Structure 1
């Protein structure tokens, strides 16, 4: 007699009597792998069997006196080496009150066996049957092709060697194996890891992964063998691969074709993300427009300029465009693709370009500060050259802004070499009004215009300043 503790219950069997916590609850009798449960008053009887698939999937099958069968999932049944106690605990934990510490529940038995349900048996029997058929077909294909695997792991087709298998074995409490399967040229066709024991293979699963990222479930390793060793397992691998189009021999070209196709696929996906990411940016790519160079020559064609790095889109990050000089200086370089060639120009060259209804001027900004760098951020030193959008032009006297700072306006007066920012923003906060007035007086240099009369933070204020300058200071 043995005693097993399971969730505070002590299950015992002695002389055909089941006890739970030393209390007799039912009779049990075994015939083969089937156990007959009978109530102590002999009024209720049912039969129980713990069934398993070829791949160690377990379920409980119960049969009533009327012949109806019920399949039930095994629910947290404690481990035991005793098949008898396994059946008792399977019924106790899985049959929803069919047996309790008080005995067999006759009402539950009557309710349970009013109908039959063999879904689990049908499911696993079909899977087992399908796998046996599949394995037989794969084995037949190998036989027809005259392919076999030798004990030294050579893959042979007749007298010709067409591949081989290298297996690395790690021995602990049990052996685990890692197999690498190659063609005759040593190209890796597939890899697989598996264990010596059927139970561990069922628990962890065995997957054969090929060079082209296909995966095959090798539950077949658990068919027709109790212990899985390389000599037994290798033919299963080769049968599976051969049946799915991996013919061994020299597969160099086939592997190259796959890798080339994957490279093309990845490039196409990358290009798609490029287009999507660019479409979300404020950059200009291959749009119809013009560039007027420093000599006054006008070039027409497709204009490209980057004002910002293209944002991350998924796992892709696009930065820079081929053909744009100094792409690290966003907004400082423009390219145009004409009928004859691709031309590149710098903002510091004083060039002008236009796209659609927008006109851009390349100009340096005043060293006295303001929105000074190409990213539209505040730069206390200023002095950099960039392309600014022309918001207003009166005889070459302009109001400008950078694409990334639409509310940060610059003033560029005819004859001046640099545009100036006369707003109240600065790198370290807010610019003092006295400082801005000094910049205004020095840059405008016209006694007819007083700083206090203009809101130099706004487009309207600067437009009024330009118009007054043209009227009073030229």
Structure 2
């Protein structure tokens, strides 16, 4: 077994850790004082005993490799009566002598060896302590890593990739004819480009290190290390490119046109989530009642807010609903006519259209109308070259006289008061209660007592219950 000795300088208190450790003819000395004995005749085995020859404990250096870049090291320690325990192998001093490194660890961290010799009480306490079984832990990790590596190699074998001297990636070996992408080099970085010229992955390294860091088009990051084979040379290396391609294939990156397909699926998933989170209605069951009272039943489509959709994924007769200044102004319904033929019909809010829709098992009813008071919306329409001030609003409350309180989809705190005898609604916008009260009193001027109460600001018009009371009082006004 090849031991990888890490050189780490640790600054520690001088009282315990400043001793100079020496080993001569199996005798350990701390600052020239003899403290214990160690036998190292058997490789990776360290047999510790007292100066008088009494066996204290045995140490065996253990290690397992999980990959080219990952390995685990630990010490298996056995007491004089055969009890075993395991501790992590740690380097606490600068030395190339593995025996000194182990002595330092047992002395500085665990207190088993001191300037007075081997502390048998500390040894007894050390073995009495329950510890994690590192050999099982590290072995499982290594086995899993090697299984994954084996699977990666099997995947690579399926494609049998070969990188030509010009960076062309072939499947089927050096005589293969199926081109799947290209490898380019520049500024100590290799890039894999697929057939759609999409960057599939980039690998960066340096001329003085062997570890390569990779980032893929899916934002995955991983490292690999093959020693000098992965050391940058300042020019294109076919062997480096070959390893890079194999690492990508082993991690399920198939090159070719995979990235484009991935991005398309990702885009569709984003669209799906955006639709689910939007206030728009896409093909939900419902009905439309036109201005003549005719009812159509089918699937409802309404766009209240902008949603970035791929035009190729939209239905041709609904595309223009997702355009500037048409949000909330139109409703489309897919229905079957008297002959059972599928038809799509669109209705405009300006025609005082009523429609209902089942959204997440809840029925919502909307009424199209123009409104007074929403100066901001009028300005927005004008700047978009759209002077139609009509919109579909959700009915929140309606009494027996069809006097209503509605809300603006997406803005549940923005209310509209709508009287049955007036085709235009009054919007409760962001003006002060004083200004709103004066304007609403004019809208309800045919009910003088209620109009006067509103004008005197007896109602907080931002309160939904107050708006319900207003339309109810209006209904009983004589």
What is the TM-score normalised by the length of structure 2? 0.60
Q: What's the CA shift for 1:187?
A: 9.0
**From 381, 399, 408, the counterpart of 2:404:** 399
For the 8 Å contact 2:372–2:426, the answer to whether it is kept is yes
Larger Cα Rg: Structure 1 or Structure 2?
1
Indicate the residue corresponding to 2:390 in structure 1. Answer: 385
CA contact (8 A) 2:184 2:191 kept: yes
The residue number in structure 1 matching 2:471 is 462
What is the distance in 2 between the residues matched to 1:386 and 1:186?
Answer: 45
- Provide the secondary structure at the position in 2 that maps to 1:401: strand
Distance 1:191 1:79 in 2: 37
* Map 1:3-152 → 2, pairs under 5 A: 6-8=12-14, 9-14=17-22, 16=24, 17-20=27-30, 24-28=34-38, 30-31=40-41, 33-54=44-65, 55-65=70-80, 70-75=85-90, 77-93=92-108, 96-109=110-123, 119-121=133-135
Judge conservation of contact 1:48–1:63 (CA < 8 Å) in 2. Answer: yes
Deviations 1:297-352 (A, max 9, x none): 66554333345678xxxxxxxxxx84526565654333333445434343334444
Label 1:136 to 1:116 Cα distance change in 2 as closer, same or farther (>3 A). Answer: same
Q: What's the secondary structure of 1:276's corresponding residue?
A: helix
The alpha carbon displacement at 1:86 in A equals 1.3
Partner of 2:348: 346
- Compared with structure 1, are the counterparts of its residues 135 and 439 closer, same or farther at alpha carbon in structure 2 (3 Å cutoff)? closer
Give the counterpart of 2:430 among 427, 433, 450: 427
With normalisation by structure 1, the TM-score equals 0.61
Find the counterpart in structure 2 of residue 237 from structure 1: 243
Shift of 1:104: 1.0
> Residue deviations 1:56-102, cap 9 Å, x none?
533223345566654321246234334342122122245x3322344
Encode CA deviations 1:419-447: one digit per residue, 9 max, x unaligned: 346xxx6634322698368515xx53477
- Equivalent position of 1:266 in the other structure: 266
The 1-side partners of 2:246 and 2:75 are apart by 32
- Match for residue 333 of structure 2 among 310, 323, 336: 336
1:130-175 deviations in Å (ceiling 9; x for gaps): 98899899999999999988999999988637788666685xxxxx
Query: Cα distance, 1:277 vs. partner?
Result: 1.8
Q: Name stretches of at least 5 consecutive residues in structure 1 with no aligned partner.
A: 171-177, 311-320, 376-382, 470-474
Contact 1:13-1:19 within 8 A present in 2 as well:
yes
Change (3 A) 1:445 1:283: same
Out of 300, 303, 309, the position equivalent to 1:303 is 300
Query: What is the aligned residue count?
Result: 416
- Write the distance in 1 (CA, Å) between the matches of 2:157 and 2:450: 101
**1:439 matched to 2:439:** no
Whole-Å separation in 1 of the counterparts to 2:354 and 2:196? 61
The residue that corresponds to 1:365 in the other structure is 371
Three-state SS of the structure 1 residue aligned to 2:321 is coil
Cα deviation, 1:154-209, whole Å, max 9, x if unaligned, reads 99988637788666685xxxxxxx55568999998765556778xx76xxx76777
Cα distance in 2, alignment partners of residues 437 and 418 from structure 1 = 12
Q: Distance in 2 between matches of 1:346 and 1:184?
A: 47
| Mapped partners of 1:134, 1:392: distance in 2 | 68
Alignment of 1:142-181 (within 5 A): 160=175, 178-180=189-191
Q: 2:426 touches 2:440 (CA, 8 Å); kept in 1? A: no
SS of residue in 2 equivalent to 1:160:
coil
Contact 1:348 1:385 survives alignment (8 Å): yes
Give deviations 1:342-387, integer Å, cap 9, x for gaps: 34343334444445776544322235x7998899xxxxxxx94333
Contact 1:155/1:161, CA 8 A, preserved across alignment: no
The alpha-carbon distance between structure 1 residues 18 and 328, as it changes in their structure 2 partners (threshold 3 A), is: farther
Residue equivalent to 2:314: none
Q: State which drifts further: 111-120 or 67-76.
A: 111-120
Per-residue deviation, 1:37:
3.3
